[in-house]
A and B are shown apart, each in its own frame.
Chain A
Amino acid sequence: MSSYTEEFESKQKPADYYAKLYEELERINEKFNAFNVLVKATGNGMPFSVKDNICVRGIETTASSKILKGYIPPFNATVVDRIIRTGRFSLIGKTNMDEFGFGSFGINCDKPAKNPLDEGRVPGGSSSGAAVATALLKYHVAIAESTGGSISAPAAFCGVVGFTPTYSVLSRYGLIDYANSLDKIGFMARSADDIKIMLDITKGLDKRDSTSSSKPIHRVKHNNLIIIKELMDKVEDGIKSEFYKFTDKLKGLGYNIKTVDFRDIELSIPSYYLIAMSEASTNLAKFTGFKYGFKVEDFSKNYNDFFTEARDKFGEEAKRRIILGTFIRSASVRDKYYLKSLSIRRWMIDKLSMLLKDAFIISPTMPILPPKIEDANRMTPVQNYASDILTIPANLGGFPHISIPFSYSGELPLSAQVIGSHFNDYGVISFASDWEKNFKYKFKYNLGDL
């Protein structure tokens, strides 16, 4: 299989295909909570979904937050617009997520999505619904978004392909910001070739996003693969041993594998969270209770009381990040935390760029199997943040990366993450596409099959 999109386009569809798909999704969504909103598709294109922090004209967009309940965007995000304009895709819904993207497991929202491979386990986050929908539907591509690993983590836990581009390659116009210098819209699909189709359509400069780039993206293939020792030290033993069997297979396919030291790479976690929370706490200040969703009714209140009442609608993790972000930006600790984190980011980008000159970096995507829901709920915030160790370095540095399944532990997938240099987006997709010629992904569900 190369592209499910092309296969879908080549097949005859019954006249009631989308009506039946809608009914089927309504039924299965009761169980898995993949979608916040289901849409009756128009046109006859490949079904696609949009993460609920990306605006679609006329369809409620809440980022899974009560504070945005009822918000109907009057415009499309640029990425959505570019996909719709091709006429090749039909929107089927808005997908569930951790509130505003604040989470790694998909549990920080009112109705968490469930992992279709094991309902007792988390699907990963924050793009939980995008991954669940991709695991359920045979013909479907998902627009997702990553700040620190929100595409790779759920893609890995649900056994689908997840791609995060170089920062600035895709416009962020119409994305509800979490952290402006870290947010990247990306994709999930069942094959790397479908990801390539989506990237071809959506990449490039957008006059509405001043951080979008006009730089061309490349397709440089490397035979050298680098493993970072300090990252592997954080991986559970069972996953580690399977990962080394995978790299042995890659050796057999002609790749050279080298392990290197990267002392202090762990500093990427506090550095990432310090930057992300600083930016998040300012971004969330726009939700004031009289525009965008939830409305405070009593206009006789003074502004501060009015604003504070609106912010009661934030969930616990959002409140925690607002409080921390406000503290980190205060004058007395700004240099100690925020500026230090920006320096760590520069240092990390320079070191990773050196490694990526003639190689890809490869690791398991997640250091653990998807945890059981009750175990994830028991984790402290610090334990939670630390589980992002494998996805944060690429995200902090804005490097393109792709997560692909490489083996299975029972029904649960084990996935690897491949990182490329800035703007070598097609290079990492191409690596994944080559891998797919040697490995068949397993899918438990094939809804919408033809």
Chain B
Amino acid sequence: MDEKEFDRLLKISRINLNGAEKTKIKKDIEQILAYFDNVDSFKEVIKEPAFHPVDIESRTREDKEEKFEDVDRLLSNTKTYRRFVIGPKI
């Protein structure tokens, strides 16, 4: 992975790395990807890849409102204005 490609990956990952940390992690990632390439040796054709280890029952919850018992405590984990959560600009 060249420097430009790695910088682009950092940008879309929203991770900021500088100096020694960047050099170290880039080197680690190259070694890890080389190790991951071992999966190329698997040649069997599998009809149904396993998205889960066991069959998951197809179950959805009802689309209805439920009362949350402790809204104040939920909001206490955020900065609020008149009980609205404040977030960054989009």
Which residue numbers of A lie inside 8 Å of B, CB to CB? 57-58, 70-72, 74-75, 166-168, 181-182, 207, 210-211, 213-214, 264, 266-267, 270-271, 273-274, 281, 288-293, 295-296, 299-304, 306-309, 311-312, 314, 316, 319-320, 322-324, 326-328, 336-337, 339-347, 349, 380-382, 385, 396-399, 422-423
Q: Which chain B residues border A58 with CB–CB below 8 Å?
A: 73
Which of A74, A307, A311 gathers the greatest number of chain B CB atoms within 10 Å? Answer: A74
B44 and A343 contacting across the interface, CB-CB below 8 Å: yes
* Whole-angstrom CA separation of A314 from B17 in the bound complex: 11
B36-74 vs A, CB cutoff 8 Å, 1 = contact: the mask equals 101111101010111111101101110000001010011
Choose among B51, B76, B87 the residue that contacts A290 (Cβ–Cβ < 8 A): B87
* Whole-angstrom CA separation of A67 from B57 in the bound complex: 34
B39 and A168 contacting across the interface, CB-CB below 8 Å: no
A381 and B49 contacting across the interface, CB-CB below 8 Å: no
Q: Which chain B residues border A274 with CB–CB below 8 Å?
A: 36, 39
A308 and B15 contacting across the interface, CB-CB below 8 Å: yes
- A290-B88, A347-B46, A382-B32 are contacts. A319–B51 as well, Cβ < 8 Å? no
Q: Which chain A residues border B77 with CB–CB below 8 Å?
A: 70-72, 74, 291-293
Q: Which chain A residues border B51 with CB–CB below 8 Å?
A: 181, 342
A431–chain B nearest beta-carbon distance, Å: 21
* Whole-angstrom CA separation of A288 from B90 in the bound complex: 13
A380 and B53 contacting across the interface, CB-CB below 8 Å: no
Extra 19 A-B pairs, beta carbons < 8 Å, given A303-B90, A323-B9: A167-B53, A168-B52, A181-B51, A211-B52, A274-B36, A290-B87, A307-B88, A308-B15, A316-B25, A328-B36, A337-B39, A339-B49, A342-B49, A344-B42, A345-B53, A346-B49, A346-B50, A347-B46, A381-B32
Q: Which chain B residues border A296 with CB–CB below 8 Å?
A: 88
* Whole-angstrom CA separation of A182 from B54 in the bound complex: 10
Q: How many residues of B contact A (CB 8 A)?
A: 50
* Whole-angstrom CA separation of A266 from B35 in the bound complex: 11
Q: Which chain B residues border A293 with CB–CB below 8 Å?
A: 77
Closest to B26 in A: A323
B86–chain A nearest beta-carbon distance, Å: 6
Tell me whether chain B's interface is mostly helix, strand or loop, or mixed.
loop
Q: Which chain B residues border A399 with CB–CB below 8 Å?
A: 53
B53 and A397 contacting across the interface, CB-CB below 8 Å: yes
- A210-B59, A396-B53, A422-B54 are contacts. A270–B38 as well, Cβ < 8 Å? yes
CB contact list, B1-41 vs A, under 8 A: 9-10, 12-17, 21, 25, 28-29, 31-33, 35-36, 38-41
* Whole-angstrom CA separation of A324 from B13 in the bound complex: 9
Q: Which chain A residues border B17 with CB–CB below 8 Å?
A: 319
Closest to B47 in A: A346
Closest to B59 in A: A210
* Whole-angstrom CA separation of A306 from B48 in the bound complex: 40
* Whole-angstrom CA separation of A422 from B12 in the bound complex: 38
Q: Does B82 contact A (CB under 8 A)?
A: no
Q: Which chain A residues border B42 with CB–CB below 8 Å?
A: 264, 267, 340, 343-344, 347
B10 and A213 contacting across the interface, CB-CB below 8 Å: no
Q: Which chain B residues border A324 with CB–CB below 8 Å?
A: 29, 32-33
- A75-B70, A210-B59, A302-B88 are contacts. A307–B36 as well, Cβ < 8 Å? no
* Whole-angstrom CA separation of A252 from B16 in the bound complex: 59
| CB pairs A–B below 8 angstroms (9 shown) | A72-B77, A289-B88, A303-B89, A306-B88, A326-B9, A336-B39, A342-B50, A344-B42, A346-B46
Q: Which chain B residues border A299 with CB–CB below 8 Å?
A: 86-89
